[in-house]
Amino acid sequence: MLAILRASIDHLESITDIYNQAVLTTTATFDSEPISLEEQRIWFAEHDDKFPIFIALKFGNVIGWASLSKWSARCAYSDTAEISIYIKDGYRGKGIGTKLMTRVLDEGKKAGVHTVLARIADGSDASFRLHKNAGFEYVGVMREVGKKFGKLLDVHLFQLVFKK
């Protein structure tokens, strides 16, 4: 049984473990060193109803998470968010990302988010499909802006604008 729930601080260690797995094995994030639990506590505290974090829970275990984060601290961007979705290895490709994305987007929209942005590195075909299926539009590419695993990577920009 899969449940999609709002994350609490009690889930932070599992969220961090999933994120750090992605840090070490994927280009889903351009962090190159694992993040500490203390760093993640700061990140967690920056989220609220408008910029929520949700988890996917299966048999009591966190197997994925999604968040909307502030795009910028500048007030003109107050209704713009960036989406992040991470699924634990072994659970990808099973529809969990779609369920998390749907929930986090619904809650963000209800709370007043107007635009959601996604930055996706080259080679993340599953992430491209996930975002396109959710209604995101491709808006451009930043060439060779990140280096991971010894390779310069392009980052593709996707955007979802909630219609009034």
Of all residues in the chain, what percent carry a pLDDT higher than 90? 96
- pLDDT-derived band at 123 (thresholds 50, 70, 90) equals confident
Domain of 103, CATH number, reads 3.40.630.30
Number of domains the chain contains: 1
Range of the domain at 144: 2-161
Residue 163: per-residue pLDDT:
87
Task: Please give the structure tokens belonging to residue 139.
Answer: 């808006």
pLDDT tens profile 9-37: 999 999 999 999 999 999 999 999 999 99
Residue 156 has pLDDT above 90, yes or no: yes
Q: What is the DSSP string of 129-154?
A: HHHHHTT-EEEEEEEEEEEETTEEEE
Where are the strands (E) in the chain, listed by range?
2-6, 53-58, 61-70, 80-87, 115-121, 137-148, 151-161
Task: Please give the structure tokens belonging to residue 130.
Answer: 């996930």
Query: Average pLDDT of 41-56?
Result: 97
- pLDDT-derived band at 53 (thresholds 50, 70, 90) equals very high
Please count the other Cβ atoms lying within 10 Å of the Cβ belonging to residue 75: 6
